[in-house]
């Protein structure tokens, strides 16, 4: 049996229904992706604010707290990676405070290296005792 395309008023109703469904789905997708972009923008602004207001003013403990909160909020993989690296840098800079005891300095540097192995690769030679303890099983 061969079916001929519908030519009557049923065809018009079917085409209109399909168009409406496509429009509704498209609008829903646009709204969803628009919200995702807006949320990512807010997280990015928060990250920039933390760096500008806290990290650049050497307020590392407060910066770490806010970066941890930002990390748990989600966001893109790129933003998560930047947040993690900035947290590690804060711990690293805290560990370079000459007023710290050797034990506290070691704790901060170890924490920085555990958060960001690239930081250890970059600065590990400056801290051989810490690096060898970090690499130990």
Task: Determine the average pLDDT of the residues in 8-16.
Answer: 61
Per-residue pLDDT at 66: 92
Question: CA 106 to CA 26: how far, in whole Å?
Answer: 55
Per-residue pLDDT at 135: 46
Per-residue pLDDT at 137: 41
Q: Which residues have CB under 8 Å from 91's CB, separation 6+?
A: 60, 64, 108, 109, 111, 112, 115
* Model confidence pLDDT, tens digit, residues 20-76: 777 777 777 666 665 656 667 788 888 888 889 998 998 999 999 999 998 887 777
Structural domain spans, the chain: 18-135
Per-residue pLDDT at 62: 94
Provide the pLDDT confidence category of residue 117 given band limits of 50, 70 and 90. Answer: confident
Mean pLDDT of the chain: 78
Q: Which residue has the higher pLDDT, 84 or 11?
A: 84
């Amino acid at each position: 049996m061969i079916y001929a395309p519908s030519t009557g008023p049923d065809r018009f109703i079917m085409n209109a229904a399909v168009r409406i469904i496509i429009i509704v789905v498209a609008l829903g997708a646009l709204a969803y992706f628009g919200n995702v972009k807006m949320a990512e923008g807010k997280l990015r602004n928060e990250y920039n604010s933390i760096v500008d207001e806290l990290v650049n003013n050497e307020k590392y403990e407060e910066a770490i707290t806010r970066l941890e909160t930002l990390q748990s909020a989600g966001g893109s993989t790129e933003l998560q990676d930047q947040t993690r690296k900035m947290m590690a840098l804060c711990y690293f800079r805290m560990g370079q405070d000459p007023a710290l005891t050797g034990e506290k300095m070691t704790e901060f540097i170890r924490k920085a290296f555990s958060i960001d192995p690239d930081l250890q690769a970059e600065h590990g030679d400056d801290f051989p005792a810490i690096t060898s303890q970090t690499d130990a099983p």
